[in-house]
Amino acid sequence: MKKLFSILAFTHQEFCMVDHNAEAARDQSVHTNESPMPDSLFVPRSRLGKKMYGFFVEPLIGSKDPPWIDARGVAIGLIVGFGTPVGAHTAAVCLLRLAFRFNFIAALAFTWVCNPFNVAFLYYGYYHIGSTVLGRPAALDFHVFEKLILPIADKSHFWEALSEFTQLGEDLLLRWSVAAVLLAVIFGAIGYAVTYHIQKKRCKKAAKQMGIRYEKLVKLLETKSGTGR
């Protein structure tokens, strides 16, 4: 439990560090000790684009982990984001971190595919997907559904949000659960495959520039980060 509380305590600090160091990370060379992989060729110019870039891309650009660790982080973030109720994401990622090695910051970032700003629209889509799979009519219109969901998004604490979520009723929870499992599996698998492909490609490019084999660079990354399959 002490380890879990420690992870939770440093979550906000880690996010701030990613955003604060985003500009510096883009200037790092593949020959430095900070990150052996080349930077992205595309950096957005708009303020919002830079924020999104720093939030979702920088944890991968600045990663010192092997490709599979980064891919696992994105996959877990998407699985938690789509598959657990909004408000429970951070706690779920922290609990999983106790059992698995993955890019923790990337995972936290990608849980934001579902957030307080889009939860009503997203969960209304869940409602229709679950209704279709179960063969039940979707009787609620969006405005009625939104009134049921918004109290969950307004809660600032995990247990309050979870308690509010469980009060939606058995029928709504069943439809939500069916859709959540489907989306979590689909997007988790896609997230892993795409991230692994991108990070592997970047790692191979870095290995070529450094004059070593890809397999050797991966082993160096695994040794440096203390990871192993």
Characterise 44 by phi-psi region: left (phi > 0), alpha (psi -120 to 50), beta (else): beta
CA dist 225 and 227 (Å) reads 6
Return the structure tokens found at 46: 């708009």
The pLDDT value recorded for residue 228 is 52
pLDDT tens-digit map of 42-76 = 556 677 677 777 777 888 888 889 999 999 999 99
Instruction: For the chain, state the CA radius of gyration.
Output: 20
The pLDDT value recorded for residue 39 is 52
More confident residue, 158 or 78: 78
Return the structure tokens found at 25: 């990370």
Structural domain of 63: 2-225
pLDDT tens-digit map of 184-221 = 999 999 999 999 999 999 999 999 999 999 999 999 98
The pLDDT value recorded for residue 46 is 72
Return the structure tokens found at 10: 């440093």
The pLDDT value recorded for residue 45 is 67
CA dist 52 and 19 (Å) reads 10
Answer whether residue 3 shows pLDDT above 80: no
Q: Please give the tally of structural domains in the chain.
A: 1
More confident residue, 41 or 201: 201
pLDDT tens-digit map of 133-183 = 999 999 999 999 999 888 887 776 778 878 888 888 899 999 999 999 999
The pLDDT value recorded for residue 208 is 92
pLDDT tens-digit map of 100-129 = 899 999 999 999 999 989 999 999 999 999
Return the structure tokens found at 221: 């990354």
The pLDDT value recorded for residue 12 is 40
Cβ-proximal residues to 61 (8 Å cutoff; 6+ apart), any chain: 25, 26, 35, 37, 39, 40
At residue 2 the predicted structure's pLDDT band, cuts being 50, 70 and 90, is very low
